[in-house]
Every structure is written in structure tokens, then in C-alpha cells.
Structure 1
Amino acid sequence: MKELKHLNKYFIKYRYRLLIGIVITIIARVFSLVIPPYVKNSLAAVEEYLKNPENDPSIVRGQLVEYILIIIAAALLSGFFTFLMRQTIINVSRYIEFDLKNEVFRQYERLSLNFYKKNRTGDLMNRISEDVGQVRMYAGPAIMYSIQTITLFVCVIPLMFYSSSKMAMYTLIPLPILSYLIYTISKIIHKRSTIVQEYLSKLSTFTQESFSGISVIKAYGIENRINAELEEIANDGKNKSMNLVKVNAWFFPMMILLIGVSNLFVIYIGGRQYINNEIDSIGVIAEFIIYVNMLTWPVATVGWVTSIVQRAEASQKRINEFLKEVPQIRNNRKEASEIGGNIEFRNVSFTYEDTNIEALKNVSFLANKGETLAIIGKTGSGKSTVLDLVGRLYDVSQGSILIDGVAIDQLNLYNLRNAIGAVPQDAFLFSDSIRNNIKFGKEDATDEEIIEVAKKAAVHKNIMDFNKEYDTVLGERGITLSGGQKQRISIARALIKDPEIFLFDDCLSAVDTETEEEILNNLQKAANSKTTIIVSHRISSAKNADKILVLDEGKIVQQGTHNQLITQEGYYKELYLNQLSEKEM
């Protein structure tokens, strides 16, 4: 159970609730223990009357009524405290589930982009949902039933020996056998539980990717192939689950068999003792049968709880794998950092860890506050990497990046990112209203501010054409909008943030040239005193920049203004002439 030690901090946090739950559990079981002796006394009273029929029957009736009322009262009190027990311990398990999910989610937020390149979304989702759910069963039902079992064993077994040591000895013979079988089967359950959880992650990943890529699946007409692949994965998962179920299936029949053997011992040994006058009443046999049956569920839960613990151990191990991941990008400064907007690259080189591709090679440039820097280059030349490094999504392999003369890794990470308004190449919108997607850049934005930035992004008219206008709820990843509309809403989201640094990553590729010109003019006004870096394949997006860099295979091969570069032989002039001729055509 070493992996489950991670939960100890939550048990400490909710220790008082747990302690109250434990006390209530013990009280509930103690009240239930009142019933067997009074059943014995009731039978003894009837037996005594049958032996001496001349006794006053009203006395027997009075005794029986008294005993029955005590039994009913004990049962009601036991039931009431059992209800309270569930309201305390099970509630604690829900609190722990809530805290653990939040802990995992916060860790997901802290982890760097490399982590997400190595792990699939389905697996991430499965660990925060299915695996945490398995752990909750350990933090609630497993603890509750374990306390019940321990309480009953501690109380019932001494009572059994007190009533008849010989009968108790024979009755308890099956329990050590049961303990050994549980130990043996538990090891198998642990291994198979881990395999089942891994297959659930695999299935979640496959279905998540299929739903996200449904348009591609339909476009290529490969529904049948995807169905066949899903069926194969599902059958594999089913087989693994069946292997686990087959082991679990041994528990309850085994419990019933061993409890049945105990009952047979009670009846046989108790009957012989009664015949031999070793016990004074047949009520002792009835009392023992109740004790044995009271132990039936606790003994059965030993197996069930063991199974829960094994599954929780396997799940917590998977959760801990991610919780132990150390983020590559850390906040090295706790104090606040003022971000002005002067950006300098000094001999920066960067290699992607997952692909070993050297994206930037000895890149140096300076972008002062209020300036616009454009980066042009072929696909894969390292343009987007520059923006990722400015946002410190990665740390440089060599060289240094300075913001206002301070090394970027010595700035407060959250202040840095709060000072950046980024529009990625692949515009991502949430499954929410257009208004809330824009407000993502500024939570307390007014409707007037939202409309103003939407107009600057040249998307206001499109939004007003929708039935619900700004209250239009978008599909997943903004699938209900065109590529150009998604890009422009993303631009509006960045503008409303009013940051010190704008990062635009080819964010006008899906709009026509006229709309592009309108947006660029608006951006120039909005970012007048801001530092702006624009990555683009279009000369039209870069021509008005204060400085233009041309990247090729991670190196700066040209730099200057638009007027300077169109007079130099090279990639920029060639691209300019090609796009100029396309525009004329």
C-alpha cells in the first residue's frame, strides 16, 4: 500500500470527520451486538416455560415483550448510527476525491508542453476520472467496512468464547483458511487491476481522438475501419476485465461456503453439547448462528475491501506517476516582475527534446517596446519556436532571452505570461459562448469592450449575423465557425487583454487580403505602444513592421525593413514578387 501513502495528507486534513465516523461506526456495531443475547434469552424463557408449564404464562409474555422491545430498539439505534456512519465516512471520501482531482488538475496545468507531447489526452482524462474514482472507494467504503469488520471481530469473538469456547473454536476454523486465500488472490487482483486501468486509458484515448477527428474519418470514409479498430481494443479490454472478474468471482462463493461450514459446525457441535447438557439452553445455538451470520458480511467484505485496496493501489500508482513529474518550466521568482516589453535574443539555439530537431541556431535580435517585429520564413524554419520561447513555453538550449534586460527565466513566470497576448496558429476556442471566449482574455470585460475588440478584429458583423449573436455557443474547439472567424475571435481575445506584448502566429492565414488589411490597421493602432511579434507567410502582414527577420532552417538569413529587403536578392524578395504577381492575377 506504499502508493496509497499519498492520501495520508488528506486523511490528516479530514481527521476529525473520520474520527467521528469511526466512533459512530463502533456505536452502530455495538448496538447490533445487543440483539443475539436477547434472542437467546427469549428462547430460554420459552424453553423454561415448556419445561415448567405450571408457571404463570403472563410472566413469560412480559419477558418476551420486554426482550422484543429491546431487540427492536437496538436494531433501530444500530440503523440510525449506520446512517450517520455513511454520512460521515462516505462524505469524507467525496471530499478527498474532490481534493485529489484538483491536485491532479493543478499538476496538469503546471506541466510543460513536452509532457503533453508524450502523453495522450485520453490517458490524462482516465487518470483524473476513472483512477481517482477507484481511489475514492478506498478512502470511503474500504475504510468504513474495515472498521465495521474489526469492531465485530473484536466484540463478537470474545462473546462467542464466553458463551461456549468449544463451539467458538470449531466455528472460527474456516477464518485462517479464508485469510490465506484472500492473501493469495489479492496479489493476482493487483496485477490484473493495473492492466485493466491501462486498457481503459487506451480505450479513452482512442475514442477521444476519434471524436475529435470525426470530420477526417467521415471525409475519408473510414468509419468501418475505425469501428473495427475500436472493436479490437474493446475486446482486448473486455478480455482483461474478464480475467479480473474471474478472480473476483472466487470471493463471494468462497465466503458463503466457509460461512456455511461454520453454521454446520454450530448446529452439529451445539446440538451435541445441548444433548450432553454442556450448554443450558438451545438459545445458545440460536445466539451462535446469529453471531456467525453477523460475521458473514464482514468476512465477505474482507475480500471485497481487499479487491478495492488492490485496485486503488494500482490506480494511485498511475496517478502518482504524473504527480511526481517535475515541470521543466518552473517559476524561479516568487516576487512580482514588471514587464515593459523590450525583448532580446542573444545567440539563442533550441532543440526539441521529443524529436531532436534543432529549430533555432544562434539567433540574435532586439525588439524594443513599441516596435513591431515580423518573422518570415518557410514552414519548419523556426518561426513559431521564437514565439514559444518568448512565452517561455520552453527554455532555450543555448544562449539567453532577455526581457527588459532581465533573463527570462529570472522573471516571475505568471507576470510574464499575463503580460502577453498570444494568438496561436491553430486558433483554439472553448465550447462556450462567443462572449465568454473573448472574455477569456479579460474576465471582467464589459459588453462594450467586447464589441469594440470584435470590431477591431473585423468579426463583429459575422457575430451579429448569428441567431444568438454574442451568446452563440460554439461547438468543440469552435467547430461551428469558419477558420477565419476562429482566428479573428482569437485576435479579439488577445486585444481585450491589453497586454504589453502581442504574439501573432500566422493568425491571418484564413482571412482574405481586404479583411487582413483592415485588421492589420486596427492592430497597428491598438498595439501602438506595445511590443508586437508577427509570424506570417504573407508579405502583406509583415511589410509595415519596424523590423523583419527572415528565418531559414533556424538561422536568420536576412533582416531589415520591407523597403530594404525587397531590394536585396533572397527569399524575401522572391516571396514578395510571387505574392505580388498572384495579387495582380
Structure 2
Amino acid sequence: MKDLWTLRGFVWRFRWRYVIGILSIVITDLSQLAIPWTLGRLTDDLNSGLGSASLIWTYIGWIFLASVGIFIFRYLWRVMIFGVARTLEYELRNKLFAHYQKLSPQWYSKRKTGDLMAHATNDLQAVRFTFGGGMVVMIDTLVLFSLTIAIMVVTIDWKLTLIGLLPLPVMAFLAISFGSKIYDRFRDAQEAFSALTDRVQENISGMRVVKAFAQEEEQERRFADINTFNFMRNMRMAKLQAFFNPLVQWVTGVSYLLVLGFGGILVIRNQITIGDFVAFNAYLGLLIGPIMGIGWMINIFQRGAASMSRINEILYSKPDIQDNPAVQPISKLNGHICIESLTFRYPGSKEPALRDVTLDIPQGQTVALIGKTGSGKSTLVNLLVRLYDVKEGSVRIDGHALKEIPLAVLRRDIGMVPQENFLFSETIRENIAFGLDQASEEEIVRAAEDAQVLDNIQDFPGNFETMLGERGVTLSGGQKQRLSIARALIKHPSILVLDDSLSAVDTKTEEALLERLKQKRRGLTTIMIAHRVSTVQHADQIVVLDEGRIVERGTHEQLLRLGGVYHHLYEQQQLEEQISGEI
């Protein structure tokens, strides 16, 4: 239950709504308790011959007023307590989503999307139910239980009350025994649901691949397996509940039998009246709810604690990358990049992805990184935007170490176009303007034109209002790349990074785009990663990477004269173009 204790600040903030809700529950319970007492008095009056039509209507009037009070105050506590629970769910979901935004890519690489979605849905619902229905049951149980017992002892007979409550120790034992089992099984069920959600999300996202490889039946089989696992985990939970709840009811039935036997003897001996016996049984009926509520409350609170434990695991996770005390009041980057003796290993990897890299990129220069797959090109630019932190060597921009630059400034002034072009299920306009709080029509059109994608957009029926499918599935590879470039260009970044962002663009469009970038980005730094020599040959400086090391650097002409790795790559691509042209 310590995980639920982390929400004490929220409960305190809404304490007055809880106070009003609790008072409403107390009044509701008092109104409920008034009905058995009235029935007992009516029974005694009728039995003693004092009854009359007017007296009966008087008692009916009192019962009617009690029922009206029950209706009004039951509505009030529902509005107050259930309303606070809904507010908790709303705020906690916002807090969880906001924390998702702060966590680093490294953290996400160890988690599955379905699991994170389950935290924001099923787990939050369980917590909300704990602070809604669970709180009501807890308060109602305590109030109704204590008041009922007090009235039974004071107004009827303490011995009969004691007999009726004999099964309570058994109830306490059952509650303790089943509580931990419910917690563990519910947590297992939630984790199984997370895996199921992840399978569905992944399969739907990759539906085109599934169909392309005719794997529909295999995916159905895999889903059936994980669905069976989810079913079995939930059945374990359901079986425990199916046993626990009837067991509680059976213990309650034993209490009725004891009261019926002992109470009947007291009536025969004239130690209590028939009216007292009727009222006592009515009170005992009212106790069934609280007694059952004890078991239900334990169930709900254990579920809520299990879910809050899963949520807290995320909320307590600290971002690997964040601003630290060394940050300086830097408002804008100019674009001079200096890398010295940089060596970097990915977490858990023994071999470094970069080895002793030293590189100077003056402001306004266009630098190209080229090399075979896995040579460290993308790693280098990922370090530049602090997706990972540098531990060996240094990376400085305008003379400042990366940790001295506020993250917001660093990522605002570096326009990053990654290898994986992720587009949102929004309009083309919203995707291009994604990096700005507000973007004018002129800025959006200009960015699309600079990225050589304006003609394609104008061909769509909805123009800039065209809705894109998930991840831009309705666009071609080249269109997605150019939209991603437009999204970066609209920010007018001091440093533009194109990470293999023209691989799906035809040669003619590529030439036009590069020429436009050359005109528009005079005085601004550009870093291009590519596999095609045609993409990088006009760069001010070409850096060739191999196995994490810089093996060559210079202009296109200098590297050709060198006759090394770059020259070999150039000749190889020239030969491929000749062969494809002949075909």
C-alpha cells in the first residue's frame, strides 16, 4: 500500500471535497440506520395493540424522509468522491505523459510500446477506481459498521451483538491471507495485458510487411498464444475472486444462523422484544454490505497498489539526459562545432562506436559524413543533439561543452532529420509546422518549396490539409523524406543535420534540393550523412568514417586524388550507374 501513499499530496489538496463526501456518507448511513429502528418500533407498537392508521402513516412518513435523505446525500458523495477520483486520473495521466516526454531514447529502447500504453489506460483506471469506489467502500464500511454495532449494543442486546460478530476474526484472517495473493495476481494480469497490447500495436503498425510476406496466419497464431497467456493470467485472478467472495458470503451466513438461534432464545425468554429482534436482523442485513465491502475493499486497494507500483516505476525513472548545474545562459547557437578525441560506446557494448574522433566544422560550412553502414556516422550526430552524453573526449559548439548548453536551445537550433522519417497522423501543414508554436502560411509554403516537395503537396486533393496515415504510410519514401526536411528547415536552424535523408529521392530532385540548400543556408552550418557520392561531392569538407575512425577527409577532388576508401567508393558507384544505365 506504500505506493498509494505517494498520492497523499493529491488527497490533501482535495481534502475539503473528501470531507464533504465523507459527511454525506455518514448522513446517508444514519438515514439507513433509521429505517430498521423505525421498523422495530412499529413492530412493537403493533404487537402491543397501540397501532393505528395514523401511527402507521407517521412511521411511513419517517421512512420516506429517511429514503429521501439517502437519495440526496448518496448523490452528493458520488459527485464529490467520484469527481475527485476522475480528477486524479486526469492529472496522473497528464503527469505520466509529460514524464514520457522527458525520458531519453535509451530508456525507450528497453520498453515496449504496449506496456507504456497499458500504464496510461488500465493501470490508471485501477488507481482511479481505488480512490473512487475503493474510498467510498472503505469509509462506508467504517462508518456503517461502527454505527450499526454501537446501535445494536446500546439499543438491543450486547450479548446478541457479540454472537453476531463472532465470524469477524475469520474475516480478518481471510482478508490478510488473500490480500497479497490478489496483489501479485493482478500485477501479473496487468503485465500480460501490456504484452497483448504491444503485440496488437506492433502488428497493426507493420501490417504492410505482414501482408507483403503472407504472414497473416503466423501472426494470428502468435496473437492467439499471447492472448491465451493473457486469458490464463486473468483466469487465475478470477478464480481467486470467485473463491474469495462466496467465502465471505458464507461467513456472513454463519453470522445470520448464530443470531437466528441465539436471538430466538432471547425472545422466548422475554429478554428482548419481537420488535428488537426484527430491528436486529435488519441491522445485521445492513452489516452484510460492510462485511462484503471489507473483502471488496481489499481487492480494490490491492489492485490499485499494484497498478500504482507500475506507474511509480516510470515516474521515478530519471531522464539520462537533462540540464544540469553546469548549464550556461546561452540563448542562441551560431554553429561552430569542435570535436576532440571523441570515443563513445553504447551502453552495454564493449566495442566503441566511435574511436578518437577529432573534427572541426567552422560556422557556415557544409560537411559530409560518408562511410559504410555501422561506421559511426549517425552516432556522431546523435551525440551532437545529446541523445547520449559524451564521456570520453569532448564536443563543443561555439566553444561551449554540450552540457553547458540548455537542452531546449540545443535542440531548437539544431534541425535534425533522422534516418527514420517519423510523420504524425495529422495534416501535412501540422507535420511541417511541428517544430514551431506558430507558423504562418508563407513559412510553411516556403519550407515545402525549399524541400522540393511543394509540387507533390499541391497534387494532393487536400493540398496542405491532406491527412496523413500513421507514420506517413500514405506517402512514398521520397515524399516522407522531403516533408521531414521541410519540418527541419522551417525552424531556420543554425545547424542542419541530414542523416541519410535523401536516399529515397531521385537524382534530379536531389540536385535541385541540394542547390536550394546551398543558396538558403549561406553562413549556416550543415552536416550531411549519405552513402551516395553524388550527394556529398559538393560539400566543403568530406569526412570518411570506417569502424568508428576518421580515415580520410578533404574535398571531393582531394579525396579522389588520394586514391583511398572514398576513391574506391566513387568508382564502385560509377560502375553501378553504368550497369543500371545499360540495363
- Scaled to the shorter chain, the TM-score interval is over 0.9
**In the alignment, what sits opposite 2:33?**
33
Structure 1, residues 564-584: CA drift from partner, whole Å, max 9, x if none? Answer: 112111121222233334445
**In the alignment, what sits opposite 1:238?**
231
The reply to whether residue 48 of structure 1 matches residue 40 of structure 2 is no
The reply to whether residue 416 of structure 1 matches residue 410 of structure 2 is yes
Structure 1, residues 392-450: CA drift from partner, whole Å, max 9, x if none? Answer: 10011310111110110121111111111111111000011111111102231122221
Judge which range, 335-344 or 486-495, deviates more: 335-344
Q: What is the CA–CA distance in structure 1 between the aligned matches of 2:294 and 2:428, rounded to whole Å?
A: 53
SS at match of 2:457: helix
- C-alpha displacement at 1:306, in angstroms? 0.6
The reply to whether residue 22 of structure 1 matches residue 28 of structure 2 is no
Q: Please tell me whether the aligned partners of residues 28 and 78 of structure 1 are also in contact (alpha carbons under 8 angstroms).
A: yes
Number of equivalenced pairs: 576
Structure 1, residues 61-108: CA drift from partner, whole Å, max 9, x if none? Answer: 222211111111111111211111111111111111122222222222
**In the alignment, what sits opposite 2:434?**
440
Q: Please tell me whether the aligned partners of residues 114 and 354 of structure 1 are also in contact (alpha carbons under 8 angstroms).
A: no
Q: 1:549-568 maps to which residues of 2 (within 5 A)?
A: 549-568=543-562
Q: 1:77-96 maps to which residues of 2 (within 5 A)?
A: 77-96=69-88
Q: Please tell me whether the aligned partners of residues 415 and 489 of structure 2 are also in contact (alpha carbons under 8 angstroms).
A: yes
**In the alignment, what sits opposite 2:503?**
509
Structure 1, residues 6-58: CA drift from partner, whole Å, max 9, x if none? Answer: 22222122222222222222222122222111111111221122xxxxx6x6x
**In the alignment, what sits opposite 1:133?**
125
Judge which range, 430-439 or 267-276, deviates more: 267-276
**In the alignment, what sits opposite 1:148?**
140
The reply to whether residue 122 of structure 1 matches residue 114 of structure 2 is yes
Compute the RMSD of aligned alpha carbons.
1.6
Correspondence for 2:321 among 321, 326, 329: 329
The reply to whether residue 404 of structure 1 matches residue 387 of structure 2 is no
Correspondence for 2:170 among 158, 169, 177: 177
Q: Please tell me whether the aligned partners of residues 551 and 557 of structure 1 are also in contact (alpha carbons under 8 angstroms).
A: yes
Q: What is the CA–CA distance in structure 2 between the aligned matches of 1:20 and 1:563, rounded to whole Å?
A: 81
**In the alignment, what sits opposite 1:293?**
285
Q: What is the CA–CA distance in structure 2 between the aligned matches of 1:25 and 1:275, rounded to whole Å?
A: 37
Correspondence for 1:426 among 420, 425, 438: 420
**In the alignment, what sits opposite 2:267?**
274
- C-alpha displacement at 1:145, in angstroms? 0.9
SS at match of 2:146: helix
**In the alignment, what sits opposite 1:52?**
none
Correspondence for 1:458 among 452, 459, 465: 452
SS at match of 1:346: strand
Q: Please tell me whether the aligned partners of residues 37 and 279 of structure 2 are also in contact (alpha carbons under 8 angstroms).
A: yes
Q: Please tell me whether the aligned partners of residues 328 and 404 of structure 2 are also in contact (alpha carbons under 8 angstroms).
A: no
Structure 1, residues 166-215: CA drift from partner, whole Å, max 9, x if none? Answer: 22111111222112112111121122112111211111222222112212
Q: 1:222-371 maps to which residues of 2 (within 5 A)?
A: 222-279=215-272, 281-333=273-325, 336-338=329-331, 339-371=333-365
The reply to whether residue 197 of structure 1 matches residue 190 of structure 2 is yes
Q: What is the CA–CA distance in structure 2 between the aligned matches of 1:62 and 1:47, rounded to whole Å?
A: 16
- C-alpha displacement at 1:116, in angstroms? 1.2
Judge which range, 420-429 or 1-10, deviates more: 1-10
Q: What is the CA–CA distance in structure 2 between the aligned matches of 1:39 and 1:121, rounded to whole Å?
A: 59
The reply to whether residue 577 of structure 1 matches residue 571 of structure 2 is yes
- C-alpha displacement at 1:111, in angstroms? 1.4
Q: Where in structure 1 do 4 or more consecutive aligned residues deviate above 6 Å? A: none
The reply to whether residue 374 of structure 1 matches residue 368 of structure 2 is yes
**In the alignment, what sits opposite 2:157?**
164
AA at the equivalent of 1:443: D
**In the alignment, what sits opposite 1:386?**
380
Q: What are structure 2's unaligned runs of at least 5 residues?
A: none
- C-alpha displacement at 1:335, in angstroms? 5.8
Q: What is the CA–CA distance in structure 2 between the aligned matches of 1:234 and 1:364, rounded to whole Å?
A: 52
- C-alpha displacement at 1:260, in angstroms? 2.4
- C-alpha displacement at 1:123, in angstroms? 1.3
AA at the equivalent of 1:142: G
TM-score, structure 1 length as denominator?
0.95
AA at the equivalent of 1:556: I
Judge which range, 13-22 or 490-499, deviates more: 13-22
AA at the equivalent of 2:175: I
AA at the equivalent of 2:21: G
AA at the equivalent of 1:166: K
- C-alpha displacement at 1:375, in angstroms? 0.6
AA at the equivalent of 1:385: T
- C-alpha displacement at 1:258, in angstroms? 2.4
Q: What are structure 1's unaligned runs of at least 5 residues?
A: 50-54
The reply to whether residue 12 of structure 1 matches residue 12 of structure 2 is yes
Structure 1, residues 450-499: CA drift from partner, whole Å, max 9, x if none? Answer: 11211111111111222212111111111111100100110111111112
SS at match of 1:556: strand
Q: What is the CA–CA distance in structure 1 between the aligned matches of 2:347 and 2:189, rounded to whole Å?
A: 31
Q: What is the CA–CA distance in structure 2 between the aligned matches of 1:357 and 1:13, rounded to whole Å?
A: 52
Q: What is the CA–CA distance in structure 2 between the aligned matches of 1:83 and 1:33, rounded to whole Å?
A: 18
AA at the equivalent of 1:386: L
Q: In the superposition, relative to structure 1, how do residues 418 and 582 fare at CA in structure 2: closer, same or farther (>3 Å)?
A: same
Judge which range, 12-21 or 31-40, deviates more: 12-21
SS at match of 1:497: coil
**In the alignment, what sits opposite 2:538?**
544
Q: In the superposition, relative to structure 1, how do residues 24 and 478 fare at CA in structure 2: closer, same or farther (>3 Å)?
A: same
AA at the equivalent of 1:226: Q
Q: What is the CA–CA distance in structure 1 between the aligned matches of 2:60 and 2:328, rounded to whole Å?
A: 71
Q: What is the CA–CA distance in structure 2 between the aligned matches of 1:526 and 1:496, rounded to whole Å?
A: 12
Q: Please tell me whether the aligned partners of residues 18 and 88 of structure 1 are also in contact (alpha carbons under 8 angstroms).
A: yes
Q: What is the CA–CA distance in structure 2 between the aligned matches of 1:41 and 1:61, rounded to whole Å?
A: 15
